[in-house]
Amino acid sequence: MKPLLLRGGTLLDPSQRLNEVGDVLITDGAISGVGSKLATPDEAEVIDCAGLIVSPGFIDVHCHLREPGREDVETIATGARAAAAGGFTAVCAMPNTDPVTDNQAAVGFIVRQAQRAESSRVYPIGAISVGQEGKALAEFGEMVGAGAVAVSDDGKPVASAQLMRTALEYARTFKIPVIDHCEEPTLSAGGSMNEGIVSAQLGLKGIPAEAEEIMVIRDILLARLTGGHVHLAHMSTKGSVELIRWGKERGIRVTAEVCPHHLSLTEESVRGYNTNAKMNPPLRTAKDVEALREGVKDGTIDLIATDHAPHHYDEKEREFADAPNGIVGLETALAVIVTNLVETGHLTFSDLVDRMACAPARIFGLPGGSLKRGAAADVTVFDPKARWKVDASQFVSKGRNSPYDGMTLVGRAACTIVAGSVVYRSGNPVRGREKSVRTRG
Amino acid sequence: MTGTLGKDLLGLESLTGDQIRLILDTAEPFKEISERAIKKVPALRGSTIVNLFFENSTRTRISFEFAEKRLSADTVNVSVSGSSVSKGETLVDTARNLEAMRIDMVVIRHSASGAAQFLAERIQSNVINAGDGTHEHPTQGLLDILTLRDRFGDLNGRRICICGDILHSRVARSNIWGLTKLGAEVAVCGPRSLLPNAIDEFGVRIFDRVEEAIEWAEALNVLRLQFERMTAGYIPSAREYNRVFGITRERLDRAPGDILILHPGPMNRGVEIDSDVADGPHSVILEQVTNGVAIRMAVLYLLAGGKPELAEAAKGGGGRGREDRE
């Protein structure tokens, strides 16, 4: 593998308080030099990064890659390539596949498919309960041994407080977070959007904010009881932010994520029965969006994750209440955050890199998240000023279900590097890792 | 060709007060047609209309069918049990097939909120919403309003209370939009478990006790209580509902002035309304049914591009009317 020199970009790495123009040299899949005007080794490929930001690779700890089971909708390979196109060097795949990823063989399958994809890294998340049925605990130890980095019954809440308690206790041995999809199922049953004036006007059954918040506080209290690490997926309400703040002030081991759509859209997007604005948890109100932005700014919300959920076109092309939940997010996440949080002054680019790269690596104990010498060379190069119109038909993902289709956003990945190999270059999606990089001129 | 209503009638939320008045005014001359021995005019002769009912309905379907036939349209009724929908065909496929058959209008009743809009966005034919889920039922709202206008003249400042299950009622939503746009004061009354949590933001008055509603209102629109609300646990029993929220003769006797009683039907006698009220002097329930045909004729006529000022002439029909009778 030839060395790679990223020349003249703005190096942004909150893990070492780095924010300066300089070069990054990558040799043998690791970062071998960071500084200004580094010498170009013989045969190195030079990538001109002038005007671009060079940061630790983004990590998405929450996506649905649909394989095994729904390969017509997404595969691990297409999902990994979509991740690369969005600037993500690694993603974590949720276990609500068919069959459920609830044992070491299933986890191993995902690891192997990810290796064959030769694109961004894919880390499996194992199920909390066998079959995600909320009854018997899955084999955390076996799954971690096969490569799982966390456990979750995502897609469904862990309805039983006793099972959640046990999971938090049992996960301590393996030092993995237990991720919960916070939803009190009897309160949310039949709901298809946020409960409020819009649901009342549209005649759609609503899901109150309290359905999420009841489970948020339950999980925080169970983390206090057990000393386990609970990670709360896709937070969507103002109340949740306040409850997490309460937990963190007391030193409880709670971390949390928020999705780009909950930071940028409200329930108003559902008007007209737009099924691409249907997801669970649902889009909430402007007050919730503001509180979530504050939460991600002050660190109450630790990180940003996409909840990338591709669906077949036909499945979204139907009556709102019957349409499936979820939207694709890997290829728009960066731009949605730049447009709605950086350009509005809520986050600096340094904060963005922390919430999308450093914090996910730190909290999930994953490689990457740093440009320090010796670290794995997972690097994202992005153009903070690129203005582009989202065209879902051009997504690398198989999914087209995006509420941002047709919108003009700012910020786009220019180059994604995994273990020293380029897996994506703007305007030229790479199929697999570039093995033989040729120097030019 | 579309009239001043646009292509479709999906709800009253999107209409202006003037558009609602136009429909009400257009319905006036059509009322008289139904009083004739030969109840038919040729206004929609040659038009093809599909009544696409994904949900059971007797009176709305019959009312639409009479309206269509009295305007001389060719109609086909499709009900869910006899269609390919039960074989798993999607709404979008149904829409495309209808489009391919070059029909002029579709009247749709569906259990999903938004289904009428979904269809309207995908076909060029005019779409009339005959009730979509818990969203809207615009022709019911219009016929309720027409019935009130017949009695009150102008609705501006009139006090109307909608009683019962507001949460699940498309009739309530259409009434609230329509009445508000015509300047009426609107209230709702029912158990809080059957009111939307965000009801405060609708700009309506709320009564927790039906006695207070009766004291305030000049008309009550009494909604049907669906029995599945009991099994779903929204309220404990029909018996208690009648005791606390039922419109009874005793309660009406304490009304300070005249009060009109409307009910969109079908009624649960002895639950939300007592028989002596339904059949009594306050009731305008059968006027609503009569007005329903006129309202639907007006909507069909206007959406087909009929000129409102010609509605009066259309009812005459002249020589063409005779032709039509052959």
What residue in B sits closest to A321 (Cα-Cα)?
A: B112
CA distance A221 to chain B (A): 28
Cβ pairs bridging A and B (under 8 Å): 64
Smallest Cβ–Cβ distance between A319 and the set B115, B197, B201 belongs to B115
> How far A237 CA lies from chain B's nearest CA (Å)?
17
Percent of chain A with pLDDT over 90: 94
Residue of A nearest to B132 (CA): A203
With a cut of 50, list the residues of chain B below it in pLDDT: 1-2, 82, 317-326
CA–CA separation, A146 and A167 (whole Å)? 18
Q: State the residue for tokens 């990457």.
A: A368
Report how far residue B78's alpha carbon sits from residue B100's, in angstroms, rounded to the nearest whole number: 16
Q: With contacts defined as CB-CB under 8 Å, which chain B residues touch A205?
A: 134
Min Cα separation B92/chain A (Å): 7
List all residues 6 or more positions away from B4 whose beta carbon is below 8 Å from its beta carbon. B19, B22, B302, B308
Tell me if B198 and A197 make a contact (CB, 8 A cut-off): yes
User: What does the pLDDT look like over B56-105, one tens digit per residue?
Assistant: 888 999 999 999 999 999 999 988 764 555 556 788 888 888 889 999 99
- Would you tell me how many other CB atoms lie within 10 Å of the CB of residue B65? 18
For the stretch A214-252, what's the b/e string if a residue is b when 16 or more beta carbons lie within 10 angstroms of its beta carbon?
bbbbbbbbbbbebebbbbbbbbbbbbbbbbbbebbeeeb
pLDDT (average), residues A72-82: 98
Tell me the sheet residues that pair with A12.
A19
What digits encode the pLDDT tens for the residues A196-250? Answer: 999 999 999 999 999 999 999 999 999 999 999 999 999 999 999 999 999 999 9
Residue contact B92–A321, C-beta within 8 A: no
Can you tell me the distance from the alpha carbon of B131 to that of B124, in angstroms, rounded to the nearest whole number?
20
User: Which residues in chain B touch residue A318, judged by CB atoms under 8 angstroms apart?
Assistant: 90-92, 118
The Cα–Cα gap between B107 and B111 comes to 14
Task: Name the residue in chain A with its Cα closest to that of B202.
Answer: A197
Chain A closest-CA separation from residue B96 CA (Å): 13
| Cis peptide preceding A68, ω within 30 of 0 | yes
Check CB contact of A204 with chain B, cutoff 8 Å. yes
Q: In degrees rounded to 5, what are phi and psi of residue B261?
A: -115, 120
Of B91, B136, B170, the CB nearest to A318: B91
Give yes or no for residue A4 having a pLDDT over 80.
Answer: yes
Residues in A 255-284 with any Cβ partner in B closer than 8 A: 272-273
All residues of chain B having their beta carbon less than 8 Å from the beta carbon of residue A195 are 197-198
Q: How far is CA B249 from the centre of its chain?
A: 26
Annotated active-site positions of A, please? Answer: 307
| Inter-chain CB proximity B91 and A321 less than 8 Å | no
pLDDT value for B79:
85
Q: Give dist(CA A146, CA A364) in Å, integer.
A: 16
**Among B135, B199, B202, whose Cβ lies nearest the Cβ of A202?**
B135
- Out of A197, A317, A320, the one facing B92 most closely (by C-beta) is A317
Rounded mean pLDDT of A284-297? 98
What Rg do the C-alpha atoms of chain A give, in angstroms? 21
Q: Which helix (H) or strand (E) holds A180?
A: strand A178-180
Query: What is the residue whose two structure tokens read 């009912």?
Result: B53
**CB spacing of B135 vs A203 below 8 angstroms:** yes
Q: What is the pLDDT of residue A435?
A: 55
pTM for the full predicted model:
0.93
Instruction: Identify all chain A residues contacting B133, using CB atoms and an 8 Å cutoff.
Output: 203-204, 321
How close are the terminal C-alpha atoms of chain A, in Å? 19
Residue A432 confidence (pLDDT): 65
State the pLDDT at residue A225.
98
Per-residue pLDDT reduced to its tens digit, A111-130: 999 999 999 999 999 999 99
**A278–chain B nearest CA distance, Å:** 14
Complex-level ipTM: 0.90
Per CB-CB distance under 8 Å, the chain B contacts of A202 are 113-114, 135
Chain B nearest CA to A273, separation (Å): 6
CB-CB neighbors (< 8 A) of A199 in chain B: 196, 198
CA-wise closest residue to B209 among B187, B228, B230:
B187
Please give the distance of CA A406 from its chain centroid, rounded to a whole number.
22
Facing residue for A200 by CB, picked from B118, B132, B198: B198
Q: What is the pLDDT of residue B92?
A: 84
Which is nearest to A203 in space by CA: B222, B52, B198? B198
pLDDT at A275: 97
Structure confidence at residue B85 (pLDDT): 57
CB contacts of B170 in chain A (<8 Å) are 203
CA-closest candidate to residue A276, choices A305, A316, A321: A316
